Homo-oligomer: A and B are copies of this chain.
Amino acid sequence: MYLGAIEAGGTKFVCAVGDASGKILATERIATETPEITMEKVIKFFMNFKIEALGIATFGPVDLDPESGTYGTITSTPKQGWANYPLLKTMKKKLSLPVGITTDVNGAALGELYRGAGKGLNGCLYLTVGTGIGGGAISEGHVLQGMSHPEMGHILLRRHPNDQEFEGICPYHKDCLEGLASGPALQARWGKPARALPSDHSAWEIEADYLAQALMQYVLIVSPKRIILGGGVMKQAQLFPLIREKLRLYLNNYVAFPELNADIDAYVVPPALGDNAGITGALILAKQSLVK
């Protein structure tokens, strides 16, 4: 049985065909232009295969309320032509197949949970720290979803004592997590690209503090079974031990689980699937959409 998967991003659509075991058999990268141009190529790609279902992990915000009339529609986005684009409806109509849809980070969470760094658990939280900061969570097999999907990149933080001047770059909140700790925020704060900051630069201690504060809130609010930190900024591997240590200091033995103490190295972890988490999750979604 063949299944289709799309990871829809702001710069490219990754399309893939795989089997039910998660093995990927063919992929194609299609640039994100207007929906007319991009979607025609996407549909053409899938026409070459006899797939039985499709899963989509997309940039957002996207309407994920199954009871909504605009379920599966990209809601607001500055990307030309994509605001109010009915992504799910279009693919269902063109392919006449069951199609599942979720956010890119929910997709990555699904992929990592069932085939990556979360294997064996029934839940996890995936956070990407890149151009933006976003997260998805799974609790007892259920992808967390409410009024909207989570927007956990925009939570409020306490300012680090050595970072009182920088305003933050979030257009909505200035110094929310994304406004202080995303790749572009680091660039604005330090005057050079994040990747150009040496690994012993004082930027990383501040960055780890902000991410540890975010993890503190996530642990207390959704209590994930594991936290997976991906995205470009997390390529700075020195962040992991710093974040773990600071998270322990913030928690101060509240929630006295081994995961947050002796076993914390296995609790706050990098992705196991690298850049394939999202597309792997989309493939899982395709399979799940067959059962529903």
By a beta-carbon cutoff of 8 Å, the part of chain A in contact with chain B is 61, 76, 123, 135, 139-140, 142, 144-158, 172-173, 213, 216-225, 250-257, 259
Contact = CB atoms under 8 A, between A and B. Distances in A.
A75 to B, nearest CB: 8
Contacts of A218: 221
B259 A147 contact: yes
B139 A144 contact: yes
Contact of A146 (B76, B223, B253): B223
A140 B255 CA distance: 26
Given A155-B217, A216-B155, A146 B252 contact: no
Contacts of A213: 156
Query: Which 7 pairs between the two chains have the least Cβ-Cβ distance?
Result: A146-B223, A172-B254, A142-B142, A152-B221, A151-B220, A172-B252, A147-B223
Contacts of A153: 220
A256 B83 CA distance: 14
A139 B148 contact: no
A251 B146 CA distance: 17
Nearest to A258: B147
Contact of A76 (B151, B250, B256): B256
